[in-house]
Amino acid sequence: MIPGLTWGARPSERTAKLACDALFPGARVQADRAISINARPAIVFSWLCQLRVAPYSYDLLDNFGRRSPRERNPELLHLEVGQRFMTVFALQSFVGGEQITLRSKGVAVTYAVRTERAGSRLHVRVLFGGPWVSARLLALGDLVMMRKQLLTLKSLAEQEAAFAG
């Protein structure tokens, strides 16, 4: 396994079919990231919808120094194909409470949420196009940013679940 292409993803997740696979069948590099979250899928999905307004990663680097919101805006749950996510992505498809699939030039990504025991499992697949070396370098950079994003979303979802508790 090549370092940087997976983080937290189980073998079954790395081979699962996700919506982004159909968008980008010729992708040069596939990266899978996953995390278990102690919150119901509905809460996790609602935090994914927040990606419309902020990346929830290293805000200094990818949000022009603005802090990603720490409270959910319920209006962001209303999804429509074509909406912007994290400035550079467009929503390609979604299944409420289950998955969102985004596309940008040379990149397709699916965030999929499923029930796992009393909580959720969030699996993200990112597909990169372009020359292999460039795609591989993007995947390595994405690993750093996506890891932070998933840990932040986990923390926020678990805080909300504990408060609602």
**How confident is the model over 42-61, as pLDDT tens digits?**
999 999 999 999 999 886 66
- Tell me how far apart the alpha carbons of residues 4 and 2 are, in angstroms, rounded to a whole number: 6
* pLDDT at residue number 69: 84
The pLDDT value given to residue 14: 96
List the structure tokens of 132: 């292999």
pLDDT grade, residue 3 (50/70/90)?
A: low
Tokens of 73: 């805006």
Identify the residue whose tokens are 């990266």: 31
Pairing of strands 29-37, 119-128: antiparallel
* Whole-structure pTM value: 0.94
Supply 91's token pair. 């929503």
What are the tens digits of pLDDT across the range 46-102?
999 999 999 998 866 665 677 888 899 999 999 999 999 998 999 999 999 999 999
Residue among 73, 45, 43, 72 at smallest CA distance from 164: 43
Angle of helix 41-49 relative to helix 132-164, nearest 10 degrees? Answer: 120
* Residue pair 37/68 in contact by the 8 Å Cβ criterion: no
Cβ atoms of 19 and 123 closer than 8 Å: no
